[in-house]
Structure 1
Amino acid sequence: MIVTEARSWIGTPYRHRASLKHVGCDCLGLVTGVWEALYGELPEEAPPYAPDWAEAGRGEPLAEAAARHLIQRPGSEIAAGDVLIFRWRPNVAAKHLAIATGPATMIHAHDGASVAEVGISPMWRRKLAYRFAFPGAAD
């Protein structure tokens, strides 16, 4: 169910702070769009954020928000349906999200491209900071 919904977003153009399937979304908009398809209304509204928000040194706001509504998964074994949060650089907040479609693939949105399913390369594995599961949803 999670992967099917995430795949239905493939081809959606990147649009900062958007979450409209086939119209535009960013990485957070992809995950919140899948949440809305699974559960309906979002449990909290995303605060306004600029593209460089995580460089401001304010802890781990994305991971903290995820921990309020998703189930943190231990270990490093990626499973279909996991929400993956990546850290671009050491000592900077994790700020990129994706949804795993299997142990070696994910769907994500990033600036300059449409939502796509890609391989989880060694570079992505090195940057993986957190894994969460949608509560009560199976894939």
Structure 2
Amino acid sequence: MVLALILVPRPSLSLLPSQGVSLGDSVTLRCHLPQTAAWIQLWFNGTLRSDKEKDEEHNTVEFSLVVTNLEDAGTYQCRYQVSEPLWTSSMSDPVELVVTGAIPCECGCGGGEGLRCCIRLLPGPLLCARCPQLLDAERCPPRNA
């Protein structure tokens, strides 16, 4: 029995913009292919997120997304498949999508502290402040209830 080892060049992945993005921003992940491929896959945190059939005339494939929630932040990679002979490349080096900025968090009553309003600084901590007494009385039940 003879085994043939096929060395498959890895693709590379770039992220545009390359800096942190805010919620609502558009992001393009560009997979650069070292050779002709039939299918290109985009992986997110180790799970297949999307795949595309490649246009034969280009050596890059773009995946676009709008950052709609914090869960879009994470590690992205791509790989490609060739149909004849059938084989799959290794994953590209990972790129990290970082979501930045400030987003509002839930406000609520709790712990006898009245209504608390919070923002999350990304990346960074959750900052909370007690709301004015008037809002506490209007929104939260009496503390002894």
Q: TM-score range by the shorter chain?
A: under 0.3
> Normalising to structure 1: TM-score of the pair?
0.25
The higher-RCO structure (CA 8 Å, 6+ apart) is 1
**Greater fraction strand:** 2
Whichever structure has more helix as a proportion of its residues is 1
In terms of Rg, which structure is larger? Answer: 2
